[in-house]
Structures are given as structure tokens and as C-alpha cells.
Amino acid sequence: MTELAATDPLPKPKRDLAPILLPIALALVVIPLIGSTSSWLTLTAASLAMGMMIFIMASGLTLVFGLMDVLNFGHGAFIAVGAYVATLVLAPFAASMQADSLWMNLAVLAPAALLSMAVSGALGLVVERVLILPVYGQHLKQILMTTGGLIVAEQALYALWGPQIIPLPLPASLRGSFIIGDVAIAKYRVLATLIGLAVFIAIQLVLNRSKLGLLIRAGVENREMVEALGYRIRRLFLGVFMTGSALAGLGGVMWALYREQVHASMSDDLTVLIFIVVIIGGLGSIGGCFIGAILVAMVANYGGFLVPKLALVSNILLMVAILMWRPRGLYAVTSR
């Protein structure tokens, strides 16, 4: 073992930029394949918006995975519940939603999103206490319990709201596109991208600038040692789980507005994408999750445009390729 004396300079840790460069490289590589700059810009903007929404939904799940090694297959329930709560809140305010004033639209939309987060977060508390607490450390039972929980949640939504698709129209001021030259970028996609970036920055600030963040990062790496320092990691985990559930609720509202509809099984397809993002990002890595979400969205959008028949399997192929390159994901945090 090579030892360093106190006076030796430490080797500078290498900044691992390869994963950051990957989406940039992918975006550049597809330019000649797409042919039209305006189509490329529209697809790239769509990818960023979709990626940010997936990131919001997946960020909590990756910390839950990384921190407590819990496989939560029921994460999609928080997405659907968040979206349904938004329809409840927004229904009486349809006039305000369709008013031609951005502020009036946001005055309704923001409280709806916050309430959706609160309800999803509270549901997260119940799920953690009732379904997950009894099966810590037992992966198979976690899968069974959380999958069962997802089925129960979906059926409860069917029972309460019926099987029909509920429309959730975008507010008037977020309809349409910004036209720059011959490029059209949907206004809502810009808003979704900004919200996603804000969530990413907020999570990074908490993780890197607060003692709570230090505890979460340390817990993801070695939860046993965090406990040996005197911290109750189960409480920390509960907080992370509730926050992740609340973010999934927010993502559900944003996705429902993006699709302008809500239905009980809306999270089924999303859950697959979210798990792919969490796995290729590296369990417990917020940075990896962020890049993974953008990559997944890019592959879905570019792939859907270039080779529509491949769209169904494109993200699975992406996951295979990334795991062959980095078997523990883009940024490996845990040793699991």
C-alpha cells in the first residue's frame, strides 16, 4: 500500500465527465440523421422537458434505493395519486385555468401542485409504515408488498373516479409555443424544464450544503456507519421516502398536464422508464438520475422520430448499453 506523508500533495480526484458528455454527444450525433435543424431543436426541447419530468419522479426513488436498499415497485401510485388530486383541486377553478392571464393560471396551478405533493407525501408516510417497515432487508417481500400496494392504489382510483380518462387541460397561458424562426417550442415544455432544473438544483443544494444532505449522502454510502455515529437512519429514510413520494406526486401533476389527461394506470409505462433511469444513473446518485432521465427521454424522442419501430425497445437497449459500459450505472454511489 502506498502511503502519503502529510506533506505530499493528494492526487487530484478525476472529475468523471464522460456521463455528462453522453447526452451532449447523443444530441450532436443525431443532427445529421434528423436532417432538419428545426425538427432537431423541437425534439431536443421535448427530450429535455420529458427528461425533467421523469427526473422529478425518479429522484426520490433513487435515494430510497440507495439509502435503504428498498425496492419500491409501488412508486407509480404516488404519481397517479398526485395527478388525481390535481384534477380534484383544479375542477372547481376551470374558469381561472382558462383565463388568459399567466398569473391567474399559476395562482390555481401552484396550490394544486403543492396539495398533490402533500397528499402523495402523506401517502408515502402510510406506505412506509404499513408496507415497507415490516419487510426491511427482504427484497422479494418488498417487491410483493409494493406491487400489491400499487395494484390496490390503482383499483382504489378506479373505484373512486371510474375507468374513464379524465381530461386535465393545460391552462390557457401555457398552451401554444414560442416561435423562434422556424422552430416551435411548446411553452409548457419550457416550464417543465425550468421546474425540473429548479428541483435538481434544490436537491443538490440540500445534499451538498446541509448536514441533512451530508447524512443522506453518507447513509447512501454506508448506513451502518451513520447509525454507529448516533443517527437514526430510519427517520432519515422516512423523510426521504416522503419527499420522494411528494416529488412523484409533483411529477404526476406535470405529466398529466403534459398529456392533458389522467387515468388510474397512467404510471404503468412511466414506472418502467423511472426504473431504467434509476438503474442506469447508479442507485442513489442524483446526478446519475438527472443524466439518465435526459438520456432516456432523448432516446425515446429521437428514436421515435428516426426509427419508430424501435421506440418500444429503445430504452431497454440504452440500459443494456450503459450497463455494459458501467455495470453499476453512470455514477456508482453504493456498492450494491
Partner 1 sequence: MTDLLTLSGVHTHIGRYHILQGIDLVVPQGQTTMLLGRNGAGKTTTLRTIMGLWQASRGEIVLAGERIEGRATPDIARRGVGYVPESMAVFSDLTVKENLVLAARDGPLDDTQLDWIFGFFPALRRFWLSRAGSLSGGQKQMLSIARAIIEPRKLLLIDEPTKGLAPAIVMALIECLKEIKRKGATILLVEQNFFAARELGDSVLIMDNGTIVHRGAMAELAADVPLQERLLGLSLEAHQ
Judged by the rule CB under 8 A, the positions of this chain that interact with partner 1 are: 1-7, 10-11, 13, 211, 214-215, 217-218, 221-222, 224-233, 333
For 298, the grid coordinates are 432523448
Helices (H) and strands (E) in the chain, counts: 12, 4
Report the nearest approach of partner 1 to the CB of residue 311 (Å). 36
CA 296 distance to own-chain centroid? 11
Q: How far is the CB of 79 from partner 1 (least distance, A)?
A: 29
Helix (H) or strand (E) holding 186: strand 183-186
Nearer to partner 1, 100 or 224 (CB): 224
Task: Calculate the alpha carbon distances from 159 to 102, 152, 263 in Å.
Answer: 35, 10, 12
Q: Does residue 262 sit in helix, strand or coil? A: strand
Min. distance of Cβ 136 from partner 1 in angstroms?
13
CB of 209 to partner 1, least distance (A): 11
**Residue 26 near residue 298 (C-beta atoms within 8 A):** yes
Residue closer to partner 1 by CB (options 211, 309) is: 211
The distance of closest approach from Cβ of residue 245 to partner 1 in the complex, given in angstroms and rounded to an integer, is 24
* Minimum separation from the CB atom of position 217 to partner 1 (A): 6
Contact yes or no for 192/174 (Cβ under 8 A) = no
Look at the block and give the residue holding cell 380534484: 88
Q: Return the number of the residue (34 or 214) whose C-beta is nearest partner 1.
A: 214
Distance between CA atoms of 178 and 169, rounded to whole angstroms? 19
Q: Which is nearer to partner 1, 5 or 179 (CB)?
A: 5
Give SS3 for 177: strand
Distance separating alpha carbons of residues 36 and 58, to the nearest angstrom: 32
What are the angstrom distances between the C-alpha of 271 and each of 74, 195, 253, 263? 9, 20, 15, 14
Please identify, using beta-carbon distances, which residue of 9 and 181 lies nearer to partner 1: 9
Say how many residues make up the chain: 336
Minimum distance from residue 268 beta carbon to partner 1 (Å): 34
Q: Which CB, 40 or 237, lies closer to partner 1?
A: 237
Minimum CB distance to partner 1 smaller for 179 or for 229? 229
Which residues, in sequence order, are CB contacts of 83 under 8 Å at separation 6+? Answer: 116, 168, 252, 253, 255, 256, 262, 266
Rounded to whole angstroms, the Cα distance separating 289 from 87 reads 28
Q: How far is the CB of 174 from partner 1 (least distance, A)?
A: 39
- In the complex, the smallest distance separating the C-beta of residue 237 from partner 1, rounded to whole angstroms, is 13
Q: Which is nearer to partner 1, 221 or 268 (CB)?
A: 221
**C-beta of 50 vs 240, nearer to partner 1:** 240
Q: What helix, strand, coil percent values describe the chain, rounded to 5?
A: 75, 5, 20
First-last CA distance in the chain: 25
